[in-house]
């Protein structure tokens, strides 16, 4: 899309996983009613309120409006932590998924996946 729309301000893309659990099996995020807090961050964040990770930028725990939120600081920190080693299998699965489409997958998507694979495999 970037090549086709040069000079046009395109929307940002975000990935969110609301369904993470801690080591005891408890949900880390309190529920759908609080998702607006993350969406608010997406719309309003400043560059200093994010940390660069192999996946992109992630909010700092302090930048999420957690007032009256039923989530511990430790759970919030865990939610916002990216562990590249956990993404190795995800990348492998995406590669298999892309193969199902053969030549119909645009090369730019394949290139992005290859780039992600390199970033999560850095030691």
pLDDT in tens, 79-121: 999 999 989 999 999 999 999 999 999 998 999 999 999 999 9
Taken in order 52, 67, 77, 121, the sign of the CA dihedral is negative
* pLDDT of res. 4: 80
Number of neighbouring beta carbons within 10 Å of residue 50: 16
The band of 68, judged by pLDDT with boundaries at 50, 70 and 90, is: confident
What is the distance between the alpha carbons of residues 21 and 75, in angstroms, rounded to a whole number? 9
How many residues would you count in the chain? 123
* pLDDT of res. 1: 64
Give one word for 99, left, alpha or beta, with left for phi > 0 and alpha for psi -120 to 50. Answer: alpha
Q: Where do the structural domains in the chain lie, given as residue ranges?
A: 10-82, 83-123
The band of 123, judged by pLDDT with boundaries at 50, 70 and 90, is: low
What average pLDDT does the chain have? 88
Q: What is the average per-residue pLDDT within 54-78?
A: 89
* pLDDT of res. 7: 84
> What contacts 68, CB < 8 A, 6 or more positions away?
none
Residue 16 has pLDDT above 90, yes or no: no
């Amino acid at each position: 899309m970037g090549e086709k729309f040069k000079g046009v301000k395109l929307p940002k893309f975000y990935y969110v996983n609301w369904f993470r659990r801690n080591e005891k099996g408890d949900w880390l995020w309190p529920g759908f009613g609080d998702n607006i807090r993350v969406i608010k961050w997406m719309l309003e964040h400043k560059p200093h309120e994010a940390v660069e990770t192999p996946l992109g930028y992630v909010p700092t725990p302090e930048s999420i409006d957690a007032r009256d939120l039923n989530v511990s600081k430790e759970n919030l920190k865990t939610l916002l932590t990216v562990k590249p080693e956990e993404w190795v299998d995800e990348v492998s699965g995406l590669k298999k998924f892309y193969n199902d489409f053969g030549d119909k997958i645009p090369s730019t998507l394949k290139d992005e996946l290859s780039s992600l694979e390199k970033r999560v495999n850095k030691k």
